[in-house]
Amino acid sequence: MLSQKLTDEINDQIMYEFYSAHLYLAAAAYCYDQDLDGFANFFTVQAEEERFHAMRFFNFVNDMDARIVVKGYETPPAAYADLVDLFAKTLEHEHFVTDRIYKLMDIATEEREHATISFLKWFVDEQVEEMATFKGLLTKLKRAAGDTSVIYDLDGELAARTFTPPTIV
Ligand SMILES: [Fe+2]
Ligand SMILES: [Fe+2]
């Protein structure tokens, strides 16, 4: 049985994950506008991942026989100074999401809600990977220092990214 506090926080998390998808779609739109289709593909795939996260929380609330609440969210930023700015801000957003997952884990631990603790572990690991991906690209972009040949090589690499729904064990 989920407490009202945990139910409310997980319902908020559904909204944050959908907001993340929206933020990354807006980032994809920014990249298309800059003729960086590979980067746009990277963010479009990232948005799919975020919708997958949102639906995992959505289904979990239902599986726990609690009431799902679907909430609205704000319009994401549409413009960035450059790619370094874009990745600095999206990395910052991933840090925010990690803090949110930790907050959920803290409440579940406090309440000794073992099913939720077990469910959240996947997200703790997922955030490590997410932050490493964004941090890695930010580092590469900073090193490139605006060198267009490096940026276009990276754009080519990112064009190959596809979404495969993760196998949950
Ligand atoms: Fe996520
Ligand atoms: Fe994420």
φ, ψ (nearest 5 deg) of residue 70: -95, 120
> Is 94 annotated as belonging to a binding site?
yes
Domain ranges of the chain: 4-158
Measure the CA dihedral 75/68/53/28, to 10°. -20
Q: Give the Å distance between the CA of 152 and the centre of ligand 1.
A: 27
Task: Let me know: does 161 contact 45? Beta carbons within 8 Å.
Answer: yes
Question: Which ligand is nearest to the Cα of residue 132, counting in written order?
Answer: 2
Amino acid 129: pLDDT: 94
Please tell me the distance between residue 151's alpha carbon and the centre of ligand 2 in angstroms. 23
Mean pLDDT, to the nearest integer, of 27-42?
Answer: 97
The reply, when asked if residue 127 is annotated as ligand binding, is: yes
Give the per-residue pLDDT at 169: 63
| Alpha-carbon span 51 to 34, nearest angstrom | 25
| Ligand 1 midpoint to CA 49 (Å) | 7
Cα–ligand 1 centroid distance for 97 (angstroms): 7
Ligand nearest to the CA of 18: 1
The fold of the 4-158 domain, in CATH, is Ferritin (1.20.1260)
* Ligand lying closest to the C-alpha of residue 24: 2
82-95 pLDDT per residue, tens: 999 999 999 999 99
Which residue blocks in 34-68 are alpha helix, DSSP H? 37-63
99-122 pLDDT tens trace: 999 999 999 999 999 999 999 999
**pLDDT at residue 168 in the model:** 74
Q: 147-161: string of b/e by CB count within 10 Å (b at 16+)?
A: eeeebeebbeebeee
